[in-house]
Amino acid sequence: MKQVVLTGIKPTGILHIGNYFGAIKPGIELANNPDYDCYYFIADYHALNIIKDKQTLKDNTFEMAASWLACGIDPKRVVFYQQSKVPEVTELNWLLSNVTSKGLMNRAHAYKAMVEKAEANGDDPDAYVNMGLFNYPILMAADILLFNTKLVPIGQDQKQHVEMARDIAKAFNKRYGYTFVVPQDLISEGVGLIPGTDGQNKMSKSHNNIIPIFATEQELKKLISAIKTDSSLPTEPKSTDCALFNLYKLFATEEQRAAMAKRYAEGISWADAKAALFELINNYLSPMREKYNYYKAHPEVVKQILAEGSQRARAVAKETIKRARLAMGLD
């Protein structure tokens, strides 16, 4: 039996190379492994809590789907779908709500952070909390349990949510008999954090130090030339412990990496180092950029892929719902 791997991608704006190496590339590698059945989806129900503008939600959902496809998700191998097109998610959300204690939800980091923020501002503790935020972990458990998921690839920040999904699956199985596979998280430690263009150790939208995956050539050149470097003279030896070399390493082969380290030791100018980085990244990203431009120009292709994926997902989801309803005495 193949193991099911599932993960949700929140449709929040543009992707950067930290996302690519931290989440997208490992996701694509898992999907290429014949031991796994992969389900990847755009988590638009979850995004309702953050994105309140109708058109922005639509645009972001399309953008994220086009981006993942351009990065190399193969919709034949992966069931690639839009969460809200599988409404069984919300039915399971309700069923699971009835085996989930409020106490478990009270412990969620995201909820607690909002309460602390309100308290610090002297507001009512629940002033910034709507039920979408409070119930977020149950909806996520529904996503996961609906597809008999074993492995959930996620970043460290989502670990608690997968633990909650485990608790909810166990609570259900205990009360109603074995119904759900108990999932576990899969946190890839391979690449670690990708540094930002300002030298901070994390590239992040919120730090304003990103290189978007689909930046144009000109934008890419500009971003790379703005990467912070030290003040050593052009002919002086350079340390490879810098953002520029760390970024180079990500895209380079072993040989390219060794050759560049040698040039650093011999004293490459920062201008030449930046030009080499630009060329390397641009060569790597340009086929992806082309695919991205294709999908942007053909939204109907993306929509068709998502529609087919959502249909495949629903077929599995319906079976799980049937099982859960029977177990609970609804049917």
Chain contacts with ligand TRP (rule: CB under 6 A) = 6-8, 10, 43, 46, 140, 143-144, 152, 154, 158, 161
Longest dimension (CA), the chain: 77
Number of neighbours of residue 76 by Cβ within 10 angstroms:
9
CB of 11 to ligand ADP, least distance (A): 10
Q: Single out the residue of 235, 236, 254, 252 nearest to residue 244, CA to CA.
A: 252
276 binds, among ligand ADP, ligand TRP, none (CB under 5 to 8 A by kind): none
By the rule CB under 6 A, 204 interacts with ligand ADP: yes
CB of 324 to ligand TRP, least distance (A): 17
Q: Which of 77, 85, 159, 202 binds ligand ADP (CB under 6 A)?
A: 202
Q: Helix (H) and strand (E) counts for the chain?
A: 15, 5
Which DSSP state fits 123? Answer: S
Burial 215-227, CB ≥16 within 10 A → b, else e = beeeebbebbeeb
Task: Output 114 or 268, the one with its CB closest to ligand ADP.
Answer: 114
Q: Single out the residue of 88, 11, 1, 77 nearest to residue 39, CA to CA.
A: 77
Q: Which of 8, 11, 22, 309 binds ligand ADP (CB under 6 A)?
A: 22
| Tokens of residue 96, six digits | 């699971």
Interface with ligand ADP by CB under 6 A: which range of 15-23, 74-82, 114-122, 123-131? 15-23
Q: Which 3 state secondary structure label does DSSP give 279?
A: helix
Q: How far is CA 165 from the centre of its chain?
A: 18
By the rule CB under 6 A, 325 interacts with ligand ADP: no
205 binds, among ligand TRP, ligand ADP, none (CB under 5 to 8 A by kind): ligand ADP
Q: Which of 4, 5, 23, 227 binds ligand ADP (CB under 6 A)?
A: 23
Q: Single out the residue of 219, 179, 155 nearest to residue 99, CA to CA.
A: 179
193 binds, among ligand TRP, ligand ADP, none (CB under 5 to 8 A by kind): ligand ADP
CB of 172 to ligand ADP, least distance (A): 27
60 binds, among ligand TRP, ligand ADP, none (CB under 5 to 8 A by kind): none
